């Protein structure tokens, strides 16, 4: 028998992408439905679920250092479940790396968490990294709680096999959730207070239900009363259809924002990454998106220091940043991931060179972000108020272009608030209230 009793309280710590945040919310609902209570802030939990990310080495290693810290002063520890993509990638191996792990549960198996917890409490350590396509959603309880901006997973997995990426291995092949399930969950989220729904998928624009694509799904969701805003992320350039682009010009509730990772501004590097687009074809998509919706904000992801990246390749990336004028962008140092084709490629870039390129890329992105934000100053717009700011009386809301705006107001989270933008920095704006409009 184990010395870990059956848990009454739990804490879920999610790392990495928005899909992990969504999965964390669903695990919370599932455990609560099974009679457990979320531990209060600062309170010791009987069960800790680490919902991990495997995309870069640093994120994956964090899981193990966090496990070490869960040991209590009196020598005891909570029951520990390793969930998410590290669990999927390492399976039973994870337990060999840390004997403190009681449960290993992958992203397609977490609906079985209550059963795995019971097994662990009975002294049977449990590993479940099966990938039954999407059956988890049927086994999860209905949505009853929602943030003003709520995530909704519509698609999981990836068939693109970019040479640096673990996602096709950790999240599996591309699978779309059925239309009716998504519409039902969207209604439940709106009934629970969501004003915005962010459709999530590793390749969200590849979502399809027979001959219906995500454009049709967005149009259907836009008909839901009480839903004010729709977003989707993340898209691959190869799946940006004309129909989806047209939706940006025709559906008012679809926000003017497109997250379209490019990774590099150099064609030879894009080829080595197996990205299936060129710089030119990427820029052409952005031009089409801007033709459909001239004010659309573009964001992207970049990797610096991919094997073989020359100074000339990197200069092309900097030039692309400037040419596109990103409203936001995320940049990462290349991290070799076990089992991916790029991990064994020649032409490794030195850490120092990577650091230097990352700093220069940050600077270039900072400039385009600031220019984008400064162009908003003086504009009247509507915020979705999402949370409290740091100062008393201050709230933070988002513009349609996903900019964070600080505003002095007594309007609670979940209010649509008309503001004038009064100042802008690279990462946030300040606004002044025009007139409250309750949704
Ligand atoms: N190293 C660095 N960054 C990576 N990403 C994906 N795999 C890696 C890797 N091996 C980045 C890409 C992707 C984002 C989610 O993470 O930019 O778009
Ligand atoms: Fe990874 Fe490429 Fe798929 Fe994105 S499109 S999840 S980067 S393999």
- Mind listing the pLDDT tens digit for each residue in 401-415? 999 999 999 999 999
Give the mean pLDDT of 281-289: 98
| Centroid of ligand 2 to alpha carbon of 127 (angstroms) | 26
> Which atom of ligand 2 is nearest to 165's Cα?
1
Local confidence band at 2 (pLDDT 50, 70, 90 cut-offs)? very low
Any atom of ligand 1 within 6 Å of the Cβ of 164:
yes
What is the average per-residue pLDDT within 300-312? 98
Q: How many CA atoms lie within 13 A of 392 on its CB side?
A: 0
* Top mutation candidate among 165, 169, 341 for ligand 1, by most atoms within 8 Å of CB: 165
Whole-number average pLDDT of the chain: 94
158 Cα to the center of ligand 2, angstroms:
6
Helix locations, 125-228, DSSP H: 135-139, 167-170, 179-191, 214-221
Nearest atom in ligand 2 to 273's CA: 2
Q: Tens digits of per-residue pLDDT, 225-248? A: 999 999 999 999 999 999 999 999
Q: Residue 4: which pLDDT band, with cuts at 50, 70 and 90? A: confident
Pocket test for ligand 1, best of 300, 301, 354 (most atoms within 8 A of CB): 301
In contact, 78 and 41? CB cutoff 8 Å: no
Please state the atom number of ligand 1 nearest to the C-alpha of residue 340: 10
Alpha helical stretches, state H, 91-178: 92-97, 113-121, 135-139, 167-170
Q: Could you tell me if the CB of 202 is within 6 A of ligand 2?
A: yes
What's the gap in Å between 133 CA and the centre of ligand 2?
18
Q: What is the pLDDT of residues 323-346, one digit of tens each?
A: 999 999 999 999 999 999 999 999
How many angstroms separate the alpha carbon of residue 415 from the centre of ligand 1?
35
Q: Which atom of ligand 1 is nearest to the CA of 17?
A: 15
Kindly state if the Cβ of 262 falls inside 6 Å of ligand 2: no
pTM of the shown model: 0.94
d(CA 301, CA 331): 6
Chain-centroid distance of CA 372 in Å reads: 22
Atom of ligand 1 nearest to the CA of 166: 7
The pLDDT value given to residue 11: 97
Q: What is the pLDDT of residue 1?
A: 37
- Ligand that comes closest to the CA of residue 345: 1
For the Cβ of 303 lying below 6 angstroms from any atom of ligand 2, the answer is no
Please determine, for residue 3, whether its predicted confidence score (pLDDT) is greater than 90: no
Q: Is the CB of 165 under 6 A from ligand 2?
A: yes
329: CB partners within 8 A, 6+ apart: 299, 300, 301, 302, 321, 365, 368, 369
Give, using CA atoms, the residue closest to atom 1 of ligand 2: 165
Residue 357 has pLDDT above 60, yes or no: yes
Using most ligand atoms within 8 A of CB, pick from 16, 19, 167, 170 the residue to mutate for ligand 2.
167
Q: What is the pLDDT of residue 300?
A: 98
Q: Is 121 in the pocket of ligand 1 (CB under 6 A)?
A: no
Please report which ligand is nearest the Cα atom of 54.
1
Nearest atom of ligand 1 to the alpha carbon of 164:
10
**335 CB less than 6 Å from ligand 1?**
yes
384 in Cβ contact with 416 (< 8 Å): yes
Q: What is the pLDDT of residues 130-149, one digit of tens each?
A: 877 657 888 898 898 899 99
Average pLDDT of the residues in 250-259: 98
pLDDT digits (tens, 9 = 90+) for 158-208: 999 999 999 999 888 999 999 999 999 999 999 999 999 999 999 999 999
Question: How confident is the model over 27-68, as pLDDT tens digits?
Answer: 999 999 999 999 998 889 999 999 999 999 998 888 899 999
Q: Which of 209, 135, 185, 173 is nearest to 25 (CA)?
A: 185
The answer, yes or no, to whether residue 439 has pLDDT greater than 50, is: no
Statement: residue 437 has pLDDT above 90: no
Residue with tokens 């259907």: 220
Confidence of residue 435 (pLDDT cuts 50, 70, 90): low
Report how far residue 153's alpha carbon sits from residue 169's, in angstroms, rounded to the nearest whole number: 18
In the reported structure, the alpha carbon of residue 273 is separated from the centroid of ligand 2 by a whole-number distance in angstroms of: 10
Alpha-helical runs (H) found in 174-266: 179-191, 214-221, 242-250
| Cα 400 to averaged position of ligand 1 atoms, centre (Å) | 26
Pocket perturbation via mutation, ligand 1, pick of 17, 55, 351 by most ligand atoms within 8 A of CB:
55
Closest ligand, as measured to the CA of 354: 1
- Range in 70-74, 214-218, 264-268, 357-361 the model is least confident about: 70-74
| C-beta of 300 in contact with ligand 1 (< 6 A) | no
pLDDT score for 133? 64
Bridge-partner residues for 153, per DSSP?
A: 200
For residue 86, give the nearest of 71, 78, 97, 77 by alpha carbon.
97
Q: Tell me the average pLDDT across 287-301.
A: 98
């Amino acid at each position: 028998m184990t010395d870990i009793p059956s848990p009454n309280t739990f804490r879920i710590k999610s790392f990495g992408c928005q899909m992990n945040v969504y999965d964390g919310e669903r695990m919370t609902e599932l455990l609560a439905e099974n009679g457990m209570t979320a531990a209060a802030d600062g309170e010791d939990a009987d069960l800790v679920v680490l919902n991990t990310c495997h995309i870069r080495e640093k994120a994956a290693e964090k899981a193990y250092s966090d496990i070490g810290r869960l040991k209590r002063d009196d020598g005891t520890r909570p029951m520990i479940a390793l969930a998410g993509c590290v669990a999927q990638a390492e399976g039973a191996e994870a337990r060999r790396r840390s004997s403190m792990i009681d449960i290993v549960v992958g992203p397609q198996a977490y609906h079985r968490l209550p059963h795995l917890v019971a097994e662990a409490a009975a002294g049977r350590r449990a590993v479940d990294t099966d990938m039954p396509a999407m059956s988890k959603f049927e086994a999860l309880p209905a949505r009853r709680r929602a943030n003003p901006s709520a995530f909704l997973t519509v698609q999981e997995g990836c068939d693109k096999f970019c040479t640096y990426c673990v996602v096709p291995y950790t999240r599996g092949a591309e699978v779309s959730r059925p239309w009716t399930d998504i519409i039902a969950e969207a209604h439940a989220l709106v009934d629970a207070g969501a004003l915005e729904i962010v459709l999530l998928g590793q390749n969200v624009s590849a979502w399809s239900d027979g001959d219906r694509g995500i454009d049709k799904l967005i149009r259907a969701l836009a008909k839901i009363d009480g839903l004010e805003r729709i977003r989707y992320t993340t898209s691959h350039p190869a799946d940006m259809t004309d129909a989806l682009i047209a939706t940006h010009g025709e559906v008012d509730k679809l926000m003017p924002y497109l997250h379209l990772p490019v990774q590099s501004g150099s064609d030879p590097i894009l080829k080595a990454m197996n990205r299936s687009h060129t710089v030119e074809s990427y820029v052409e998509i952005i031009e089409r998106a801007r033709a459909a919706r001239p004010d659309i904000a573009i964001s992207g992801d970049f990797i610096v220091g991919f094997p073989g990246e020359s100074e000339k390749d990197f200069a092309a990336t900097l030039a692309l940043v400037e040419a596109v004028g990103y409203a936001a962008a995320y940049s990462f140092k290349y991290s070799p991931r076990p089992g991916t084709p790029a991990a064994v490629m020649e032409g490794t870039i030195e850490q120092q060179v990577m650091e230097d390129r990352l700093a220069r890329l940050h600077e270039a992105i900072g400039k385009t972000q600031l220019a984008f934000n400064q162009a908003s100053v003086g504009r009247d717009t509507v915020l979705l108020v999402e949370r409290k700011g740091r100062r008393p009386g201050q709230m933070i809301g988002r513009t349609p272009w996903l900019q964070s705006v600080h505003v002095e107001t007594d309007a609670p989270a979940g209010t649509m608030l008309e503001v004038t933008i009064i100042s802008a920095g690279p990462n946030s704006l300040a606004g002044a209230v025009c007139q409250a409009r309750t949704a």
